[in-house]
Structure 1
């Protein structure tokens, strides 16, 4: 196979079928007829001497060979698209792009409302999809093109990694309790003390089935442990639980101001000095010169920083 005799549009077809899992949906995304897409798939199968996709019920499932090459195919397409866009002046108002963001619920609530306001005003043709991603998969998801950007806590990257990152916010821990909690001093302005904190039952918010939170790590350094009565997945649900029980919730202050707004739980500083909670934006180096991606990254950073 020689690239001079290869129709590069075939790789666009390969990526679309892989992403959509369906000839019908891929043809709709590419605005091609189903016969044209089927013909392109036949050419791809001949070119690679592999079925590439096998029908399983209503889904076109990729073969092992397709799974082994899709990351390189997507990287090549992204680099080619970036080189074309680098020669053009970017106009957000005319952009027609879709972006997939890896966000946890804490960032969905703080980022998406204002980000979507900006997009509606400045880039109405831009589509955003927010999905949850496991931290262990971030590098793979960005490298494969399944995700365009990820917001999460600082994470170590392998030496020579093509994943870029930038710190966008710095937060601190606070503690929520219901109004009238019997263990809290009624006098306003009196701080929550460490002994009172440890003696109470707590909610821990985590997507993991096991493991401790950042606050537990800080307590352990002081030789202390707390009683976790409830482990749940979302801060919003935890805020409601706190409003109706005597449980305490420890969480980032920025998100607490949003998630706790309708519950009006009491807010106290976490009773230990801790390291700040940083949030980083991650993306792949092959989108460095993608004008639309650069624009979106800038909007995201500005929204997260309140600019």
Structure 2
């Protein structure tokens, strides 16, 4: 079928149903009536000779064909959007827009406060959604435009994903104020003698500090594995466990607990944080503006 015979608005409906998993929510997203969305879906089904979505309970589940075409459709819609908006003009003071930013929860407390301070001063109608995305989904979501930017550690991503280092952090160790072993200083023997907390979103596996210890033929005792550094800081304040974490977040999360913050007594690579975006928004004025806000807010300028 030639593209001249296709209503391109149908693909906007297709992407909305796929993202929302619901005809009703797709209608709300696109500000259309539910019958209009249902009519568009019927036309899509005829066009592809496939149901595309099958109702299971309250959810519209995509068929294999729908899953196979969603990324090309998203990239095509993103390309059209950029073609229409990339005229070199972007006025943050007048723009009404939602940016989606992917970052790990450990970075939210260090990145979001200065970033939102800058954005609210310059752009009263621009909103930001900070979300957590599986790393294996970053490339497809950045390409599709469902993510505008991502902030994470150095990742092995393809060349189509642009990157820039925006910060570097050191590793420290937290111990409670009256820890029987740690009294203002911490050497390697004390570190290995103590028991530890490992904060990680993964269900198993070593922390970065454990890899460095293993290079030296050393091993520490992990007494507790938990998901979040903030919870780990509280556990530290009430036990003799030690916590190893990035210094920047440690100084934020530890404020109400008063734990000791000490240098890690073993050499560790720095925590390098990168900003990621897709090459198709390299010159997009809105995305370029947001990148500048992130870089300047993290650098403290």
Counterpart position of 1:171: 169
Query: C-alpha displacement at 1:287, in angstroms?
Result: 2.0
Q: Distance in 1 between matches of 2:67 and 2:198?
A: 38
Counterpart position of 2:296: 302
Query: C-alpha displacement at 1:132, in angstroms?
Result: 2.0
Q: Distance in 2 between matches of 1:94 and 1:196?
A: 57
Q: Distance in 1 between matches of 2:115 and 2:72?
A: 31
In the superposition, the TM-score normalised over structure 2's length comes to: 0.94
Q: Distance in 1 between matches of 2:61 and 2:145?
A: 18
Q: Distance in 1 between matches of 2:21 and 2:136?
A: 24
| Preserved contact between residue 154 and residue 279 of structure 1 (Cα < 8 Å) | yes
Counterpart position of 1:62: 62
| Preserved contact between residue 21 and residue 60 of structure 2 (Cα < 8 Å) | yes
Stretches of 4+ moved more than 3 A in 1? Answer: 143-146
Q: Distance in 2 between matches of 1:178 and 1:16?
A: 50
Q: Distance in 2 between matches of 1:12 and 1:62?
A: 15
Q: Distance in 2 between matches of 1:289 and 1:81?
A: 13
Q: Distance in 2 between matches of 1:288 and 1:49?
A: 37
| Preserved contact between residue 52 and residue 66 of structure 2 (Cα < 8 Å) | yes
Pairing of 1:127-142 with structure 2 (within 5 A): 127-142=127-142
* Structure 1 SS opposite 2:93: helix
Q: Distance in 1 between matches of 2:137 and 2:44?
A: 29
What is the RMSD computed on CA atoms of the aligned residues? 1.7
Counterpart position of 2:82: 82
* Structure 1 SS opposite 2:55: strand
Q: Distance in 2 between matches of 1:302 and 1:50?
A: 48
| Preserved contact between residue 88 and residue 284 of structure 2 (Cα < 8 Å) | no
Query: C-alpha displacement at 1:148, in angstroms?
Result: 2.6
Counterpart position of 1:279: 273
Query: C-alpha displacement at 1:277, in angstroms?
Result: 1.2
Q: Distance in 1 between matches of 2:223 and 2:25?
A: 46
Counterpart position of 2:259: 265
Q: Distance in 1 between matches of 2:177 and 2:37?
A: 62
Counterpart position of 2:152: 152
Return 173-182 or 271-280, whichever deviates more.
271-280
Pairing of 1:1-307 with structure 2 (within 5 A): 1-87=1-87, 89-158=89-158, 161-185=159-183, 191-307=185-301
Q: Distance in 1 between matches of 2:18 and 2:129?
A: 18
Q: Distance in 1 between matches of 2:97 and 2:61?
A: 26
* Structure 2 SS opposite 1:170: strand
In the superposition, the TM-score normalised over structure 1's length comes to: 0.92
Query: C-alpha displacement at 1:114, in angstroms?
Result: 2.3
Return 36-45 or 230-239, whichever deviates more.
36-45
Gaps of 5+ in 2: none
* Structure 1 SS opposite 2:15: helix
Q: Distance in 1 between matches of 2:51 and 2:102?
A: 32
Name the count of aligned residue pairs: 301
Q: Distance in 1 between matches of 2:94 and 2:11?
A: 26
Return 30-39 or 240-249, whichever deviates more.
30-39
Q: Distance in 2 between matches of 1:8 and 1:32?
A: 16
Query: C-alpha displacement at 1:175, in angstroms?
Result: 0.6
